[in-house]
Amino acid sequence: MAEKIKVVLGMSGGVDSSVAAHLLQKQGYEVRGFFMNANVSGKSRLMMSISWSEEEKMVRKICEILGIQLHVVDCEKGYAEHVIGPMFEDYKKGLTPNPDTLCNKIGKFPKMWKYAQEIGAKYVATGHYTRVRKGRKGYELLMGKDKSKDQSYFLVDLQEKDLKHILFPIGEMTKTEVREIARKRGFPNWDKRGSRGICYLGKIDMKKFLRERIPEKVGKVVDSNGKVIGHHPGVMYFTIGEKVGDAKGAWIDRAREKWSGEKLYVAAKLKGNKLVVAPSGDKSLLTKRVLLKGFHWINEKDKETKGLKARIRHLGKLYAGKLQKKNGKWFFVFQRGVEGVAPGQMIALYKGEKMVCAGEIRAYN
């Protein structure tokens, strides 16, 4: 009997990776579970809503049901230093980083592939709702079949050399189909709520979290004409496009006589710790062009530049526009002005269902 091909599967306590493990087994692979615990000590000082001890217990239950060997990695220190640390530094600079993409780039996939090589595994796999396809020019990264769950945006840093040895078993399925398989298979997490919030932290009060590490620095709140209408605790606590107001503790010493009472949104962060806000529909909320830092092609042999659409956040709307290169720098020009474009976030460019290229949003106008 031929030896089975080994696959290292990134697992959590959720239903998606559990069903991915089951599907890989059905396809004839020898599956090795890989679980990264971000709070092994149980004493992490990071604000988090995830119970890592419970997540690990669930993973062990699934592996026991399926007869899978599990490899647990202590990533508590590395996560704090290499993901959360840089995240805070970016916020201090006024950026809005995406730690989920960084988790995948420097943590999950490199660590899984290293372990795969150590045990002679040919592939790594995850329970992401996305797909890999081998085309005429090599491997391509595609959106998941379930567009309401598509997670390709979080994988913007994967490239063709990575896609050659990555499997996404549930990419062709819907969440409903995944849950039904888990229910029939008797998985105890078949109806478990999906993860939300920041990778490895979960759903948390982000402003409170930032205040733990970044001290307040009071600055002026101005309207789109430069008129001072109040004060804020620091531009690092805000992101472009965010709705602001008293209920969220956005204001300090509000200038009531200059306050219109309208719902306002963050339009810009200016030098000198100034926060520009404007009512919905104001032109200052619109961004027409962005500079792409760290621009890269998913497949160097598949450099399409026409007919691309941009996504600036997970499951966000796809915006038409043009990819341009000027003086060695890459830009994306939106067909129409777009609201909520925040420097620090990733921008992924698609041709139909295929992600063609990506980069980090920096300067904009």
Instruction: Give 166's contacts (C-beta < 8 A, 6+ positions apart).
Output: 109, 123, 124, 125, 126, 132, 158
Select which of 63, 75, 199, 357 is catalytic: 199
- Give the CA dihedral 257, 263, 266, 270, nearest 10 degrees: -20
Select which of 63, 75, 103, 357 is catalytic: 103
Instruction: Give 99's contacts (C-beta < 8 A, 6+ positions apart).
Output: 83, 84, 87, 198, 199
Concerning whether 63 is annotated as a catalytic residue, the answer is no
- Indicate the pairing of strand 228-232 with strand 166-167: unpaired
Contact (Cβ atoms closer than 8 angstroms) between residue 218 and residue 231: yes
> Which amino acid, residue 199?
C
Q: Report which of 82, 87, 69 is spatially closest to residue 21, judged by C-alpha positions.
A: 69
Concerning whether 357 is annotated as a catalytic residue, the answer is no
**Count of helix runs (H) and strand runs (E) in the chain:** 9, 18
Instruction: Tell me the C-alpha distance between 176 and 168, whole Å.
Output: 17
Contact (Cβ atoms closer than 8 angstroms) between residue 358 and residue 159: no
Q: What is the DSSP letter of 244?
A: E
| Residues identified as active-site | 103, 199
